[in-house]
Amino acid sequence: MTIRGVAIHQPPFVFINRNETSQDGRYYGFLIDIFREITSRLHNVSLELYEVEDGLFGSRQQVKTSDGTLQYVWNGMIGDLISGKAHVAVGPLSVSSVRYPVIQFTPSYLDTGLSILVPKADESDNPFSFLKPFSYEVWILILVSVFLIGIFSWIFDRLSPFGYSKLESEDNDKSNLTISSSFLNSMSTITGISGGETGRSWSTRIMMIGYFIFAMICLATYTANLAAFLTTKIQVTKITSLSDLRKYGFKFGVPANSDPAEYIKTSNEMADIRKNMILYPDLDGCVNALRKNEIEAIIWDNTIVEYVANQAPCDTLKVGELFDQKNMALAISRNMTASPDQKLMEDISVILLELRESGVVNRLFQSWWVDKGSCHSGEEEVTISSGITIHDFWGIFLLLIIFFVLAWLVLFFEMIFIKVFRKTANIRKVNKVMGSLNDCLGGTNLESDKKEEKPTFGNREMNVSLMNDGF
């Protein structure tokens, strides 16, 4: 028995070399290999192929008949199956609720869905690639943090009774923490350079402990991500998911008279991007428009998008997650459901299941999608939009805020402490206690900062001393 199949040129499922006359040389591809596996397991069954005349997969069109009534007519491969011109469709057709009532499907041989194809951006000459590890929001917050730490470390020193400014007023000693040195210390810390004086008071040092932790995590994160950016091929794209198409209104292309085009036209989920869809005769037209920047993206079957992105000139990239997930199956004319063709259709379905369960389908998929790909660079391609965002990094800023609030509480404690205990007569004992606590935080004892007074003796006292010694 000869099975008549209608084929469509859609790499890598089916390639049609129109310069070849023999069927073996004219048709080849992933589905051709699957049909060869099927026919090799059937007795006295061969496959005879021809190319669909209109070059379409098949969609439902509303036409007016001679009597003026409207009815739906199918074109493309599905139209040939309905008319009985072909027994099977040799092309990537997905199972859908619109197609199922008019044609028969075998069990699925591939799980698929829709995905997005976008052009790659050239990042080779970007002189500011060193800024990529963080998003601009994170960079702004880091700079604001450095500025605030510089200001408040100086303010804490002025307000705290244990700061250098109080030593200046009490002992006429020059303060060691000016506003300029405070900013210098804040900026040098975030860059990993050992800074100058960090302040003498408890409140300042507690705030700086949180800032040191903040700077350490920022430096470690930036260094790790910068190394990844410089050693990994990074593809920065305007579109990273379907949500970007919804949010920014980018124009995208879809082949006309196809299931994806019908889904976007009729689905309520795609209503907000429907107005930005541009239809092209085929996928090649979409790809050419994408390379000419006439559109920003293509929505098409995921398996075909993966194949196109892996072919020369390697200037496209698949982004985002799958949506409208479906199954691919062999489409069979319902004319074959009648006896004796019913038994043949059941045999094809059983063999297709065996091929998938035994790993033959996966092996063929690997051969046509991966092994025959042209874009293997040995480098991982990562799609990012703006580096590490504030959503990934907000915890470290929260930690800095917690230490900042704690520093204010300690400052209030310092001010209350010194007011209460300086009313006592034993101020030296109080300062000694405060100095011991301050030493635990790495500070300087209040008493040790004062200049040590050397005893002086007048001539009278010196003479008495000398006389007592025996002169």
Contacts of 439 (CB under 8 A, 6+ apart): 445
Place of tokens 């293509």: 298
Q: Which pair of tokens denotes residue 338?
A: 């009648």
The Cα 250–Cα 177 span in angstroms is: 54
Residue type, 289: A
Q: Is 341 annotated as a binding residue?
A: no
Q: Compute the C-alpha angle 71/300/124, nearest 5°.
A: 155
Long-range contacts of 213-221 (CB under 8 A, 24+ apart): 213/399, 213/403, 214/145, 214/396, 214/397, 214/399, 214/400, 215/189, 215/190, 217/396, 218/142, 218/190, 218/396, 219/190, 219/191, 219/192, 221/133, 221/388, 221/393
Taking a C-beta distance cutoff of 8 angstroms, is the pair 287, 298 a contact? yes
The Cα 331–Cα 57 span in angstroms is: 11
Indicate the angle between helix axes 30-40 and 341-357, nearest 10 degrees. Answer: 120
Q: Is 460 annotated as a binding residue?
A: no
Tell the burial category of 332 from Cβ atoms under 10 Å away from its Cβ (0-12, 13-18, 19+): buried
The Cα 309–Cα 318 span in angstroms is: 6
The Cα 134–Cα 386 span in angstroms is: 7
Q: Among 413, 442, 403, 421, which Cα is nearest to 200's?
A: 442
The Cα 153–Cα 299 span in angstroms is: 54
The Cα 130–Cα 222 span in angstroms is: 9
Identify any residues that bridge with 73 across adjacent strands, giving them in sequence order.
61
Q: Is 99 annotated as a binding residue?
A: yes
Binding residues, as ranges, are 92, 94, 99, 301
Binding residues for L-glutamate, as ranges, are 92, 94, 99, 301
